[in-house]
Amino acid sequence: MIQSIVHIALVVREYDDAIDFYTNKLNFTLIEDTFLPEENKRWVVVAPPGSVGTTVLLAKASKPEQEPFVGNQAGGRVFLFLNSDDFWRDYNEMTSKGIEFVREPKEQPYGTVAVFKDLYGNLWDLLELKEDHPILKRIK
């Protein structure tokens, strides 16, 4: 059996602001932006540059009970983990574009890591895993 996680839904306030942030600040690729008239919503999918794995579905909060989760998708914990093939290149580019890092870069046994906020306040790890990390061995 082969299965995979295709999308991770990220609740956002507005589609266009989220698209702008992910494509212009994080250099993600806009994979799809399709209006679904029967549901009066858009299907918006972005992915990190060069990624062939899981994508991020930007899902606009459409009900009042969804609003509190914008920017608090994981209850204040790091929610998503963006692995890089060059941590310092991406860290320097992100800081030059105004991305707010709430934890400075640090060397850990698994690699280099720093924590940043997305446009709504969700926490992300920017990391460069060491070559011998089990995740990297798995995808090679």
Second-level CATH architecture of 1-66: Roll (3.10)
Specify the higher pLDDT residue, 134 or 37: 37
Going by their DSSP bridges, the two strands 101-108 and 41-47 should be labelled as unpaired
Predicted local distance difference test score (pLDDT) of residue 133:
86
Adjacent-strand bridge partners of 36 = 41
**Residue spans per domain, the chain:** 1-66, 71-140
Please give the share of the chain, as a percent, with pLDDT higher than 90.
88
pTM for the predicted model, two decimal places? 0.92
Distances, alpha carbon 13 to alpha carbons 43, 63, 69, 134, 138, in Å: 14, 11, 10, 35, 35
pLDDT at 130 over 90: yes
Q: Do domains 1-66 and 71-140 have the same CATH topology?
A: yes
**Per-residue pLDDT tens over the stretch 95-129:** 999 999 999 999 999 999 999 999 999 999 999 99
Specify the higher pLDDT residue, 116 or 140: 116
**Per-residue pLDDT tens over the stretch 47-80:** 999 998 899 999 999 999 999 999 999 999 999 9
Predicted local distance difference test score (pLDDT) of residue 78:
97
pLDDT at 140 over 70: no
CA distance 36 to 46: 17
Class of domain 71-140: alpha beta
